Chain A
Amino acid sequence: MHSLSGWGEDSVEDQIIIETETLTKRYGTQIAVNNLTLRIQEGEVFGFLGPNGAGKTTTLLMFLGLTEPTSGKVRIVGFDPAREPLRVKEKVGYLPENVGFYDDMDARQNLRFIARLNRIPDKVSAEKIDELLQQVGLFEEATKKVGTYSKGMRQRLGIAEVLIKEPKLIFLDEPTIGLDPDGTNRMLDLIHSLSREKNITIFLSSHLLDQVQRICDRVGIMIKGNLVAIGPIQELAQKKLGIGKEHYTLEELYMKYFKEA
Protein backbone atom coordinates (compact mmCIF):
# COMPACT_ATOMS: atom_id res chain seq x y z
CA MET A 1 0.00 0.00 0.00
CA HIS A 2 2.75 2.38 0.82
CA SER A 3 4.02 2.97 -2.63
CA LEU A 4 6.41 5.83 -2.38
CA SER A 5 7.30 6.03 -6.03
CA GLY A 6 7.38 9.52 -7.36
CA TRP A 7 8.72 10.80 -4.09
CA GLY A 8 12.47 10.96 -3.77
CA GLU A 9 15.37 11.73 -6.01
CA ASP A 10 13.37 11.60 -9.26
CA SER A 11 10.81 14.18 -8.10
CA VAL A 12 10.38 17.09 -10.45
CA GLU A 13 9.96 20.66 -9.28
CA ASP A 14 6.78 21.45 -11.19
CA GLN A 15 4.91 18.50 -9.74
CA ILE A 16 4.61 20.24 -6.38
CA ILE A 17 0.93 20.90 -5.81
CA ILE A 18 0.96 22.44 -2.33
CA GLU A 19 3.78 24.67 -1.29
CA THR A 20 3.92 26.85 1.80
CA GLU A 21 6.71 28.89 3.26
CA THR A 22 6.71 30.16 6.86
CA LEU A 23 2.94 30.37 6.72
CA THR A 24 1.54 31.98 9.88
CA LYS A 25 -1.95 32.83 11.03
CA ARG A 26 -2.64 34.80 14.19
CA TYR A 27 -5.97 35.56 15.80
CA GLY A 28 -5.20 38.54 17.99
CA THR A 29 -2.30 37.36 20.12
CA GLN A 30 -3.09 33.70 19.65
CA ILE A 31 -1.06 31.86 17.05
CA ALA A 32 -3.18 29.34 15.18
CA VAL A 33 -0.56 28.29 12.64
CA ASN A 34 3.10 29.00 13.23
CA ASN A 35 5.70 29.09 10.44
CA LEU A 36 4.33 26.20 8.46
CA THR A 37 6.61 25.09 5.67
CA LEU A 38 5.29 22.23 3.63
CA ARG A 39 5.62 20.72 0.17
CA ILE A 40 3.27 18.17 -1.25
CA GLN A 41 3.80 16.23 -4.43
CA GLU A 42 1.16 15.64 -7.06
CA GLY A 43 -0.60 12.28 -6.62
CA GLU A 44 0.34 11.90 -2.99
CA VAL A 45 -2.00 10.86 -0.18
CA PHE A 46 -0.99 13.08 2.69
CA GLY A 47 -2.29 12.60 6.24
CA PHE A 48 -2.54 15.75 8.32
CA LEU A 49 -2.73 14.84 12.00
CA GLY A 50 -3.04 16.69 15.22
CA PRO A 51 -5.20 17.15 18.29
CA ASN A 52 -8.33 19.28 18.22
CA GLY A 53 -7.56 22.97 17.92
CA ALA A 54 -4.05 22.36 16.57
CA GLY A 55 -4.71 24.60 13.56
CA LYS A 56 -5.54 21.97 10.95
CA THR A 57 -8.80 23.54 9.81
CA THR A 58 -7.25 27.01 9.80
CA THR A 59 -4.52 25.66 7.53
CA LEU A 60 -7.14 24.18 5.20
CA LEU A 61 -9.03 27.49 5.12
CA MET A 62 -5.83 29.33 4.18
CA PHE A 63 -5.19 26.78 1.41
CA LEU A 64 -8.65 27.50 0.00
CA GLY A 65 -8.39 31.27 0.28
CA LEU A 66 -11.28 31.37 2.75
CA THR A 67 -9.09 33.10 5.30
CA GLU A 68 -6.04 35.23 4.74
CA PRO A 69 -2.68 34.28 6.21
CA THR A 70 -1.06 36.79 8.57
CA SER A 71 2.32 36.22 6.94
CA GLY A 72 4.12 33.70 4.78
CA LYS A 73 3.52 32.29 1.33
CA VAL A 74 1.12 29.66 -0.02
CA ARG A 75 0.85 28.26 -3.50
CA ILE A 76 -1.85 25.76 -4.30
CA VAL A 77 -1.84 24.20 -7.79
CA GLY A 78 0.51 27.04 -8.74
CA PHE A 79 -1.71 29.93 -7.57
CA ASP A 80 -1.85 32.10 -4.48
CA PRO A 81 -5.26 31.40 -2.89
CA ALA A 82 -5.46 34.87 -1.35
CA ARG A 83 -4.86 36.58 -4.71
CA GLU A 84 -6.51 34.24 -7.17
CA PRO A 85 -9.08 32.29 -5.16
CA LEU A 86 -11.12 31.29 -8.19
CA ARG A 87 -8.18 29.67 -9.98
CA VAL A 88 -7.48 27.64 -6.86
CA LYS A 89 -11.09 26.70 -6.19
CA GLU A 90 -11.54 25.54 -9.78
CA LYS A 91 -8.90 22.89 -9.26
CA VAL A 92 -9.41 22.05 -5.62
CA GLY A 93 -12.24 20.12 -3.98
CA TYR A 94 -13.03 20.49 -0.31
CA LEU A 95 -15.12 18.07 1.71
CA PRO A 96 -15.71 19.61 5.13
CA GLU A 97 -16.41 17.53 8.19
CA ASN A 98 -20.15 16.74 8.38
CA VAL A 99 -20.82 18.27 5.00
CA GLY A 100 -24.27 19.80 4.49
CA PHE A 101 -26.64 19.50 1.56
CA TYR A 102 -29.85 21.11 0.45
CA ASP A 103 -32.05 18.54 2.13
CA ASP A 104 -35.19 19.27 0.14
CA MET A 105 -33.46 18.46 -3.15
CA ASP A 106 -32.46 15.00 -4.36
CA ALA A 107 -28.91 13.86 -5.04
CA ARG A 108 -29.03 14.78 -8.72
CA GLN A 109 -30.32 18.29 -8.03
CA ASN A 110 -27.62 18.87 -5.42
CA LEU A 111 -24.94 17.73 -7.84
CA ARG A 112 -26.37 19.80 -10.68
CA PHE A 113 -26.31 22.89 -8.47
CA ILE A 114 -22.65 22.39 -7.64
CA ALA A 115 -21.91 21.69 -11.32
CA ARG A 116 -23.56 25.00 -12.28
CA LEU A 117 -21.48 26.86 -9.72
CA ASN A 118 -18.48 25.35 -11.48
CA ARG A 119 -19.82 26.59 -14.82
CA ILE A 120 -20.34 23.10 -16.20
CA PRO A 121 -23.24 23.23 -18.68
CA ASP A 122 -26.25 21.03 -17.77
CA LYS A 123 -25.84 18.89 -20.88
CA VAL A 124 -22.30 17.96 -19.91
CA SER A 125 -23.03 17.54 -16.23
CA ALA A 126 -26.06 15.25 -16.67
CA GLU A 127 -23.91 12.43 -17.98
CA LYS A 128 -21.21 13.04 -15.45
CA ILE A 129 -23.65 13.07 -12.55
CA ASP A 130 -24.91 9.60 -13.49
CA GLU A 131 -21.35 8.35 -13.80
CA LEU A 132 -20.40 9.74 -10.39
CA LEU A 133 -23.53 8.38 -8.73
CA GLN A 134 -22.58 4.94 -10.07
CA GLN A 135 -19.05 5.38 -8.82
CA VAL A 136 -20.06 6.26 -5.25
CA GLY A 137 -22.90 3.72 -5.25
CA LEU A 138 -25.84 6.10 -4.98
CA PHE A 139 -27.38 5.54 -8.40
CA GLU A 140 -30.44 3.69 -7.09
CA GLU A 141 -31.15 6.31 -4.44
CA ALA A 142 -30.55 9.31 -6.69
CA THR A 143 -34.17 10.45 -6.75
CA LYS A 144 -34.62 10.39 -2.96
CA LYS A 145 -34.47 13.63 -1.04
CA VAL A 146 -31.04 14.06 0.54
CA GLY A 147 -32.73 14.75 3.89
CA THR A 148 -33.56 11.04 4.10
CA TYR A 149 -29.99 9.89 3.48
CA SER A 150 -27.91 8.06 6.05
CA LYS A 151 -24.58 9.39 7.24
CA GLY A 152 -22.61 7.13 4.93
CA MET A 153 -24.70 8.06 1.91
CA ARG A 154 -24.25 11.76 2.66
CA GLN A 155 -20.51 11.31 2.89
CA ARG A 156 -20.44 9.50 -0.46
CA LEU A 157 -22.58 12.21 -2.03
CA GLY A 158 -20.08 14.71 -0.64
CA ILE A 159 -17.29 12.90 -2.48
CA ALA A 160 -19.36 12.98 -5.68
CA GLU A 161 -19.84 16.74 -5.28
CA VAL A 162 -16.12 17.21 -4.87
CA LEU A 163 -15.35 15.06 -7.93
CA ILE A 164 -17.76 16.80 -10.28
CA LYS A 165 -15.33 19.64 -10.89
CA GLU A 166 -12.56 17.15 -11.77
CA PRO A 167 -10.16 18.44 -9.14
CA LYS A 168 -6.41 17.94 -9.09
CA LEU A 169 -6.35 18.17 -5.32
CA ILE A 170 -8.91 17.19 -2.68
CA PHE A 171 -9.02 18.30 0.94
CA LEU A 172 -10.86 15.84 3.13
CA ASP A 173 -11.72 16.73 6.71
CA GLU A 174 -12.52 13.59 8.74
CA PRO A 175 -14.00 11.72 5.75
CA THR A 176 -14.79 8.51 7.66
CA ILE A 177 -16.01 9.81 11.00
CA GLY A 178 -19.35 8.33 11.99
CA LEU A 179 -19.33 5.69 9.26
CA ASP A 180 -19.91 1.98 9.92
CA PRO A 181 -16.97 -0.41 9.30
CA ASP A 182 -18.20 -1.35 5.85
CA GLY A 183 -18.77 2.29 4.93
CA THR A 184 -15.33 3.19 6.24
CA ASN A 185 -13.70 0.50 4.10
CA ARG A 186 -15.56 1.60 0.99
CA MET A 187 -14.61 5.21 1.63
CA LEU A 188 -10.94 4.35 2.13
CA ASP A 189 -10.91 2.21 -1.02
CA LEU A 190 -12.51 5.05 -2.95
CA ILE A 191 -9.94 7.57 -1.71
CA HIS A 192 -7.14 5.17 -2.54
CA SER A 193 -8.41 4.52 -6.03
CA LEU A 194 -8.82 8.24 -6.73
CA SER A 195 -5.20 8.75 -5.92
CA ARG A 196 -3.91 5.73 -7.83
CA GLU A 197 -6.17 5.78 -10.89
CA LYS A 198 -6.76 9.48 -11.46
CA ASN A 199 -3.57 10.83 -9.92
CA ILE A 200 -5.58 13.13 -7.65
CA THR A 201 -3.66 14.46 -4.69
CA ILE A 202 -5.42 13.79 -1.39
CA PHE A 203 -4.84 15.94 1.67
CA LEU A 204 -6.59 14.22 4.51
CA SER A 205 -7.09 15.42 8.03
CA SER A 206 -8.18 12.81 10.54
CA HIS A 207 -7.97 11.52 14.07
CA LEU A 208 -8.46 7.89 13.09
CA LEU A 209 -4.83 6.93 13.00
CA ASP A 210 -5.13 3.33 11.85
CA GLN A 211 -7.04 4.51 8.78
CA VAL A 212 -4.48 7.20 8.06
CA GLN A 213 -1.78 4.58 8.32
CA ARG A 214 -3.62 2.38 5.83
CA ILE A 215 -3.88 4.88 3.01
CA CYS A 216 -1.37 7.70 3.49
CA ASP A 217 2.01 7.90 1.81
CA ARG A 218 3.24 10.58 4.17
CA VAL A 219 1.97 12.23 7.30
CA GLY A 220 2.45 15.58 8.98
CA ILE A 221 1.82 16.02 12.68
CA MET A 222 0.71 19.43 13.86
CA ILE A 223 0.59 20.33 17.53
CA LYS A 224 -0.34 23.78 18.84
CA GLY A 225 0.17 25.38 15.46
CA ASN A 226 3.60 23.85 14.87
CA LEU A 227 4.36 21.13 12.36
CA VAL A 228 6.44 18.85 14.57
CA ALA A 229 7.03 16.02 12.12
CA ILE A 230 6.64 15.29 8.43
CA GLY A 231 7.54 12.26 6.35
CA PRO A 232 6.64 8.64 5.56
CA ILE A 233 5.34 6.84 8.65
CA GLN A 234 8.03 4.17 8.75
CA GLU A 235 10.83 6.68 8.39
CA LEU A 236 9.48 8.89 11.15
CA ALA A 237 8.92 5.92 13.42
CA GLN A 238 12.41 4.62 12.97
CA LYS A 239 13.85 8.01 13.76
CA LYS A 240 11.65 8.73 16.69
CA LEU A 241 11.01 5.39 18.31
CA GLY A 242 14.35 3.80 17.50
CA ILE A 243 15.23 0.88 15.30
CA GLY A 244 14.62 -2.62 16.53
CA LYS A 245 10.92 -2.96 16.25
CA GLU A 246 9.42 -4.86 13.36
CA HIS A 247 6.25 -2.86 12.99
CA TYR A 248 5.27 0.54 14.21
CA THR A 249 1.77 1.81 14.58
CA LEU A 250 1.08 5.41 13.82
CA GLU A 251 -0.59 5.68 17.18
CA GLU A 252 2.62 5.00 19.10
CA LEU A 253 4.40 7.61 17.04
CA TYR A 254 1.64 10.18 17.42
CA MET A 255 1.43 9.76 21.20
CA LYS A 256 5.18 10.12 21.49
CA TYR A 257 5.08 13.49 19.70
CA PHE A 258 1.99 14.55 21.57
CA LYS A 259 3.55 13.92 24.99
CA GLU A 260 6.72 15.76 24.06
CA ALA A 261 4.88 18.86 22.94
Chain B
Amino acid sequence: MIVMVGVVVASMAGMSIQEEAKGAAKPTLLFLGLFVSTGKLFSFVQFIGFFGPLIGIFLGFDSINRERASRTLSKLASQPIYRDSIINAKFLAGVTVVSIVLVAIILIISGLGIRLIGVVPGSEEVWRLVIYVITSILYVSFWLGISILFSVVFRSTATSALASLAVWIFFSIFVSLGAGALSNAIAPISQSGAGVDPNVVIQHEQIQHTVSLFSPVTLYSEATSLVLNPMSQTTRPIAYALMGPLEKFSAARFQNPLPLLQSLIIVAPFLISIVAITFLCFGVCYLVFMRQEIRTV
Protein backbone atom coordinates (compact mmCIF):
# COMPACT_ATOMS: atom_id res chain seq x y z
CA MET B 1 0.00 0.00 0.00
CA ILE B 2 2.78 2.40 0.96
CA VAL B 3 4.69 1.51 -2.18
CA MET B 4 1.59 2.20 -4.25
CA VAL B 5 0.93 5.56 -2.62
CA GLY B 6 4.63 6.39 -2.92
CA VAL B 7 4.56 5.72 -6.65
CA VAL B 8 1.39 7.78 -7.12
CA VAL B 9 2.80 10.66 -5.10
CA ALA B 10 6.06 10.53 -7.02
CA SER B 11 4.35 10.66 -10.38
CA MET B 12 2.13 13.55 -9.30
CA ALA B 13 5.11 15.40 -7.88
CA GLY B 14 7.09 14.65 -11.01
CA MET B 15 4.41 16.19 -13.20
CA SER B 16 4.03 19.30 -11.07
CA ILE B 17 7.79 19.73 -10.95
CA GLN B 18 7.94 19.52 -14.72
CA GLU B 19 5.48 22.40 -14.92
CA GLU B 20 7.30 24.45 -12.30
CA ALA B 21 10.70 23.92 -13.81
CA LYS B 22 9.57 25.08 -17.25
CA GLY B 23 9.47 28.68 -16.11
CA ALA B 24 12.52 28.66 -13.90
CA ALA B 25 15.72 29.96 -15.39
CA LYS B 26 18.11 27.95 -13.27
CA PRO B 27 16.44 25.21 -11.26
CA THR B 28 18.50 24.06 -8.30
CA LEU B 29 18.37 20.73 -6.50
CA LEU B 30 15.34 19.70 -8.49
CA PHE B 31 15.55 16.08 -7.60
CA LEU B 32 14.70 16.51 -3.93
CA GLY B 33 11.52 18.23 -5.00
CA LEU B 34 10.17 14.77 -5.77
CA PHE B 35 9.89 14.13 -2.06
CA VAL B 36 8.83 17.50 -0.71
CA SER B 37 6.68 18.85 -3.55
CA THR B 38 3.04 18.72 -2.52
CA GLY B 39 1.92 18.06 -6.07
CA LYS B 40 -1.83 17.56 -6.24
CA LEU B 41 -2.47 16.23 -2.73
CA PHE B 42 0.43 15.81 -0.34
CA SER B 43 4.16 15.21 -0.49
CA PHE B 44 5.89 11.97 0.22
CA VAL B 45 7.50 13.45 3.34
CA GLN B 46 4.10 14.44 4.72
CA PHE B 47 2.80 11.00 3.89
CA ILE B 48 5.53 9.22 5.85
CA GLY B 49 5.21 11.71 8.68
CA PHE B 50 1.55 10.93 9.07
CA PHE B 51 1.30 7.26 8.07
CA GLY B 52 4.83 6.10 8.90
CA PRO B 53 3.77 5.58 12.52
CA LEU B 54 1.18 3.10 11.28
CA ILE B 55 3.94 0.90 9.84
CA GLY B 56 5.69 0.89 13.20
CA ILE B 57 2.50 0.24 15.15
CA PHE B 58 1.43 -2.50 12.78
CA LEU B 59 4.78 -4.28 13.17
CA GLY B 60 4.92 -4.09 16.94
CA PHE B 61 1.51 -4.01 18.57
CA ASP B 62 1.22 -7.78 19.09
CA SER B 63 4.89 -8.70 19.41
CA ILE B 64 4.99 -9.71 23.07
CA ASN B 65 1.39 -10.29 24.02
CA ARG B 66 0.78 -12.65 21.12
CA GLU B 67 3.64 -14.82 22.37
CA ARG B 68 1.98 -14.66 25.76
CA ALA B 69 -1.46 -15.54 24.40
CA SER B 70 -0.19 -18.49 22.38
CA ARG B 71 1.79 -19.61 25.45
CA THR B 72 5.09 -19.62 23.60
CA LEU B 73 6.69 -16.94 25.76
CA SER B 74 7.36 -19.21 28.73
CA LYS B 75 8.77 -21.78 26.35
CA LEU B 76 11.06 -19.21 24.75
CA ALA B 77 12.17 -17.99 28.16
CA SER B 78 13.14 -21.50 29.22
CA GLN B 79 15.54 -21.89 26.29
CA PRO B 80 19.21 -21.07 26.83
CA ILE B 81 18.97 -17.48 25.63
CA TYR B 82 19.11 -14.30 27.68
CA ARG B 83 15.75 -12.82 28.36
CA ASP B 84 16.63 -9.47 26.87
CA SER B 85 17.45 -11.11 23.56
CA ILE B 86 13.72 -11.76 23.15
CA ILE B 87 12.83 -8.08 23.33
CA ASN B 88 15.96 -7.01 21.43
CA ALA B 89 15.12 -9.42 18.65
CA LYS B 90 11.53 -8.18 18.44
CA PHE B 91 12.76 -4.60 18.13
CA LEU B 92 15.59 -5.31 15.71
CA ALA B 93 13.37 -7.44 13.47
CA GLY B 94 10.91 -4.55 13.25
CA VAL B 95 13.66 -2.02 12.53
CA THR B 96 15.03 -4.26 9.79
CA VAL B 97 11.64 -4.54 8.10
CA VAL B 98 11.09 -0.79 8.38
CA SER B 99 14.52 -0.09 6.90
CA ILE B 100 13.94 -2.40 3.96
CA VAL B 101 10.50 -0.92 3.27
CA LEU B 102 11.65 2.71 3.44
CA VAL B 103 14.82 2.22 1.42
CA ALA B 104 12.86 0.30 -1.21
CA ILE B 105 10.23 3.04 -1.51
CA ILE B 106 12.85 5.78 -1.78
CA LEU B 107 14.64 3.81 -4.49
CA ILE B 108 11.42 3.20 -6.40
CA ILE B 109 10.48 6.88 -6.25
CA SER B 110 13.99 7.92 -7.26
CA GLY B 111 13.96 5.58 -10.21
CA LEU B 112 10.56 6.75 -11.30
CA GLY B 113 11.59 10.35 -10.74
CA ILE B 114 14.69 10.05 -12.91
CA ARG B 115 12.51 8.78 -15.73
CA LEU B 116 9.81 11.41 -15.22
CA ILE B 117 11.86 14.58 -14.85
CA GLY B 118 15.05 13.45 -16.50
CA VAL B 119 17.27 14.84 -13.73
CA VAL B 120 19.95 12.73 -12.12
CA PRO B 121 20.58 13.48 -8.43
CA GLY B 122 23.89 15.04 -7.51
CA SER B 123 26.01 13.87 -4.60
CA GLU B 124 24.58 16.45 -2.21
CA GLU B 125 21.07 15.38 -3.02
CA VAL B 126 22.01 11.76 -2.44
CA TRP B 127 23.48 12.65 0.96
CA ARG B 128 20.39 14.57 1.91
CA LEU B 129 18.28 11.58 0.93
CA VAL B 130 20.45 9.26 3.02
CA ILE B 131 20.01 11.50 6.05
CA TYR B 132 16.30 11.62 5.36
CA VAL B 133 16.07 7.81 5.21
CA ILE B 134 17.99 7.39 8.47
CA THR B 135 15.77 9.94 10.20
CA SER B 136 12.65 8.23 8.88
CA ILE B 137 13.85 4.83 10.07
CA LEU B 138 14.45 6.25 13.54
CA TYR B 139 11.08 7.95 13.51
CA VAL B 140 9.19 4.80 12.53
CA SER B 141 11.29 2.86 15.08
CA PHE B 142 10.04 5.23 17.75
CA TRP B 143 6.49 4.19 16.92
CA LEU B 144 7.57 0.58 16.80
CA GLY B 145 8.94 1.06 20.32
CA ILE B 146 5.67 2.61 21.49
CA SER B 147 3.65 -0.31 20.17
CA ILE B 148 6.06 -2.92 21.60
CA LEU B 149 5.81 -1.15 24.95
CA PHE B 150 2.03 -1.42 24.83
CA SER B 151 2.28 -5.05 23.81
CA VAL B 152 4.40 -5.67 26.92
CA VAL B 153 2.06 -3.75 29.21
CA PHE B 154 -1.31 -4.93 27.91
CA ARG B 155 -2.28 -8.58 27.84
CA SER B 156 -4.71 -8.28 24.95
CA THR B 157 -3.51 -7.53 21.43
CA ALA B 158 -6.65 -5.47 20.71
CA THR B 159 -5.99 -3.20 23.69
CA SER B 160 -2.39 -2.59 22.72
CA ALA B 161 -3.35 -1.87 19.10
CA LEU B 162 -6.00 0.63 20.18
CA ALA B 163 -3.69 2.27 22.71
CA SER B 164 -0.96 2.70 20.09
CA LEU B 165 -3.45 4.17 17.63
CA ALA B 166 -4.73 6.53 20.30
CA VAL B 167 -1.20 7.81 20.91
CA TRP B 168 -0.70 8.21 17.18
CA ILE B 169 -3.88 10.26 16.74
CA PHE B 170 -3.09 12.29 19.84
CA PHE B 171 0.35 13.27 18.60
CA SER B 172 -0.54 13.83 14.98
CA ILE B 173 -3.76 15.81 15.50
CA PHE B 174 -4.45 16.86 19.05
CA VAL B 175 -1.06 18.22 20.02
CA SER B 176 -1.11 20.78 17.23
CA LEU B 177 -4.73 21.65 18.02
CA GLY B 178 -3.80 22.00 21.68
CA ALA B 179 -0.80 24.12 20.79
CA GLY B 180 -3.08 26.52 18.91
CA ALA B 181 -5.57 26.64 21.74
CA LEU B 182 -2.93 27.24 24.38
CA SER B 183 -1.19 30.01 22.46
CA ASN B 184 -4.54 31.68 21.81
CA ALA B 185 -5.35 31.54 25.48
CA ILE B 186 -2.04 33.00 26.66
CA ALA B 187 -1.30 35.45 23.85
CA PRO B 188 -4.52 36.12 21.96
CA ILE B 189 -4.36 37.69 18.51
CA SER B 190 -7.53 39.34 17.24
CA GLN B 191 -8.84 37.83 14.03
CA SER B 192 -9.02 41.19 12.24
CA GLY B 193 -5.25 41.47 12.45
CA ALA B 194 -5.42 45.22 12.95
CA GLY B 195 -3.18 46.90 15.48
CA VAL B 196 -1.42 43.74 16.55
CA ASP B 197 1.51 44.15 18.88
CA PRO B 198 4.44 42.30 17.25
CA ASN B 199 5.59 41.12 20.65
CA VAL B 200 2.27 39.33 21.19
CA VAL B 201 2.59 37.73 17.79
CA ILE B 202 6.05 36.52 18.64
CA GLN B 203 4.87 35.15 21.96
CA HIS B 204 1.91 33.50 20.29
CA GLU B 205 4.12 31.82 17.75
CA GLN B 206 6.69 30.77 20.29
CA ILE B 207 4.13 29.09 22.50
CA GLN B 208 2.50 27.33 19.59
CA HIS B 209 5.80 26.17 18.19
CA THR B 210 7.16 24.97 21.54
CA VAL B 211 4.03 23.02 22.42
CA SER B 212 3.74 21.40 19.03
CA LEU B 213 7.37 20.28 19.27
CA PHE B 214 6.25 17.88 22.00
CA SER B 215 4.83 15.80 19.21
CA PRO B 216 7.33 13.55 17.43
CA VAL B 217 5.26 14.06 14.29
CA THR B 218 6.10 17.78 14.28
CA LEU B 219 9.73 17.07 15.17
CA TYR B 220 10.03 14.71 12.27
CA SER B 221 8.25 16.77 9.65
CA GLU B 222 10.19 19.94 10.50
CA ALA B 223 13.52 18.17 10.54
CA THR B 224 13.00 16.33 7.29
CA SER B 225 11.48 19.22 5.39
CA LEU B 226 14.60 21.20 6.16
CA VAL B 227 16.93 18.38 5.23
CA LEU B 228 15.17 17.81 1.93
CA ASN B 229 14.51 21.44 1.12
CA PRO B 230 17.79 23.40 1.11
CA MET B 231 15.95 26.59 0.21
CA SER B 232 14.30 26.88 3.60
CA GLN B 233 16.68 28.33 6.14
CA THR B 234 14.75 28.18 9.35
CA THR B 235 12.26 25.93 11.03
CA ARG B 236 10.07 28.93 11.88
CA PRO B 237 8.31 30.48 8.90
CA ILE B 238 6.96 33.27 11.12
CA ALA B 239 10.46 34.59 11.62
CA TYR B 240 10.45 35.89 8.07
CA ALA B 241 7.13 37.69 8.51
CA LEU B 242 8.43 39.52 11.55
CA MET B 243 11.63 40.75 9.94
CA GLY B 244 12.24 44.41 9.49
CA PRO B 245 12.63 45.79 5.93
CA LEU B 246 16.42 45.74 6.07
CA GLU B 247 16.51 42.18 7.29
CA LYS B 248 14.08 41.17 4.57
CA PHE B 249 16.31 42.78 2.04
CA SER B 250 19.38 40.97 3.24
CA ALA B 251 17.49 37.68 3.43
CA ALA B 252 16.32 38.15 -0.15
CA ARG B 253 19.89 38.65 -1.26
CA PHE B 254 20.80 35.27 0.02
CA GLN B 255 18.10 33.22 -1.64
CA ASN B 256 20.51 30.46 -2.37
CA PRO B 257 20.27 26.90 -1.14
CA LEU B 258 21.98 26.21 2.16
CA PRO B 259 24.94 23.86 2.10
CA LEU B 260 24.26 20.43 3.55
CA LEU B 261 26.26 21.11 6.70
CA GLN B 262 24.35 24.30 7.46
CA SER B 263 21.00 22.55 7.01
CA LEU B 264 22.22 19.86 9.36
CA ILE B 265 23.27 22.39 11.98
CA ILE B 266 19.78 23.89 11.97
CA VAL B 267 18.04 20.54 12.32
CA ALA B 268 20.57 18.92 14.68
CA PRO B 269 18.39 19.48 17.79
CA PHE B 270 15.45 17.89 16.01
CA LEU B 271 17.45 14.89 14.86
CA ILE B 272 18.94 14.42 18.32
CA SER B 273 15.47 14.62 19.86
CA ILE B 274 14.17 11.94 17.52
CA VAL B 275 17.12 9.67 18.36
CA ALA B 276 16.58 10.37 22.06
CA ILE B 277 12.87 9.59 22.15
CA THR B 278 13.43 6.44 20.13
CA PHE B 279 16.03 5.17 22.55
CA LEU B 280 14.03 6.32 25.55
CA CYS B 281 11.00 4.45 24.29
CA PHE B 282 12.96 1.26 23.72
CA GLY B 283 14.66 1.66 27.10
CA VAL B 284 11.35 1.86 28.95
CA CYS B 285 10.07 -1.10 26.97
CA TYR B 286 13.17 -3.11 27.87
CA LEU B 287 12.92 -2.28 31.56
CA VAL B 288 9.23 -3.14 31.81
CA PHE B 289 9.77 -6.43 30.01
CA MET B 290 12.76 -7.44 32.13
CA ARG B 291 10.88 -6.74 35.34
CA GLN B 292 7.79 -8.62 34.31
CA GLU B 293 7.26 -12.10 35.60
CA ILE B 294 6.85 -14.77 32.98
CA ARG B 295 4.02 -16.96 34.12
CA THR B 296 2.66 -19.94 32.35
CA VAL B 297 -0.87 -18.57 32.41
Contact with B80, one of A97, A98, A119, A161 (Cβ below 8 angstroms) = A119
CA distance A86 to B81 in the complex (A): 6
Question: Is there contact, CB below 8 Å, between B70 and A117?
Answer: no
B249 within 8 A of partner (CB)? no
- Contacts of B81 on A, CB cut-off 8 Å? 86, 89, 117
Number of B residues, CB within 8 Å of A: 18
The yes or no answer to B199 lying at the interface (CB within 8 A) is no
Cβ-defined contact, A100 with B75, below 8 A = yes
Known: A103-B70, A161-B75. A96 touches B80 (CB 8 A): no
Q: How far is the CB of A111 from chain B (nearest CB, A)?
A: 12
Q: Roughly how many angstroms separate A257 CA and B170 CA in the complex, as a whole number?
A: 58
Q: Which residues 78-98 of B sit at the A interface, judged by CB distance below 8 A?
A: 78-83
Q: Which residues of B contact A250 (CB under 8 A)?
A: none
User: DSSP majority for the B interface?
Assistant: loop
Q: How far is the CA of A99 from the CA of B75 in the complex (A)?
A: 7
A67: interface (CB < 8 Å): yes
Known contacts A89-B80, A90-B80, A100-B70: A173-B75 contact under CB 8 Å: no
- B294 touching A61, Cβ below 8 Å: yes
Q: Bound state CA distance, A117 and B297, in angstroms? A: 23
Q: Are B79 and A98 in contact (CB under 8 A)?
A: no
A102 B78 Cβ-Cβ under 8 A:
no
Q: Does the CB pair B70–A94 fall under 8 Å?
A: no
Number of interface residues of A (CB under 8 A): 27
Cβ 8 A contact of A100, one of B71, B77, B80, B293: B71
B160 → A minimal CB distance (Å): 18
- Determine the chain B residues whose CB is within 8 A of the CB of A64 once the complex forms: 77-78
Name 23 A/B residue pairs within 8 A (Cβ), A-sorted: A57-B295, A57-B296, A61-B294, A64-B77, A67-B293, A85-B83, A89-B79, A89-B81, A93-B78, A94-B75, A96-B71, A96-B296, A99-B71, A99-B75, A100-B70, A100-B71, A101-B70, A101-B72, A102-B70, A103-B70, A117-B79, A118-B80, A161-B75
With A57-B295, A85-B83 known, 14 other A-B pairs at CB within 8 A are A57-B296, A61-B295, A64-B77, A67-B293, A85-B82, A86-B82, A89-B80, A90-B80, A94-B74, A96-B75, A99-B75, A103-B70, A117-B76, A119-B80
